[in-house]
């Protein structure tokens, strides 16, 4: 179920920048899902247990990561296996530094 939510990508013609939360995590035994809108795209991000990042989402080949500072970066053309590796990694910060940072073009998608 969570993988389906993470792959959710919906196109809108409007350009709002908004973040909202759905669920409290207790409804179905899963964490709440964060939906964030950037330039017309909505990507579902799942909260993660990590000191290095707050939430992670994957749609198409784009990987969105929210950091503790509140900054959200989108990493482009990231293979699904890299996303899976990040989600399974015992240390998401170490995995990110070794396999994502500096390996993929990235853009900050929020201000």
Helix axes 80-88, 92-99, angle to 10 degrees: 150
Residue 77 confidence (pLDDT) above 50: yes
* pTM above threshold 0.85: no
Averaged pLDDT, 95-105: 97
Determine contact, residues 57/43, Cβ cutoff 8 Å: yes
What is the per-residue burial (b if ≥16 Cβ within 10 Å, else e) of 32-54? ebbbbbbeebbbbbbbbebeebb
- Better-scored residue on pLDDT, 60 or 43: 60
Q: How many Cα neighbours within 13 Å face the side chain of 87? A: 17
Residue 6 confidence (pLDDT) above 60: no
Determine contact, residues 83/63, Cβ cutoff 8 Å: yes
Averaged pLDDT, 73-89: 96
């Amino acid at each position: 179920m969570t993988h389906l939510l993470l792959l959710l990508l919906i196109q809108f013609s409007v350009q709002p920048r908004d973040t909202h939360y759905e669920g409290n995590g207790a409804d179905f035994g899963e964490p709440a899902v964060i939906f964030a809108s950037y330039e017309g795209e909505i990507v579902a991000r799942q909260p993660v247990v990590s000191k290095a990042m707050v939430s992670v989402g994957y749609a198409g080949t784009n990987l969105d990561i929210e950091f503790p500072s509140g900054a959200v970066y989108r990493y482009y053309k990231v293979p699904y296996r890299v996303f899976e590796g990040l989600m399974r990694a015992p240390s998401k910060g170490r995995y990110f530094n070794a396999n994502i940072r500096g390996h993929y073009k990235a853009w900050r998608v929020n201000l």
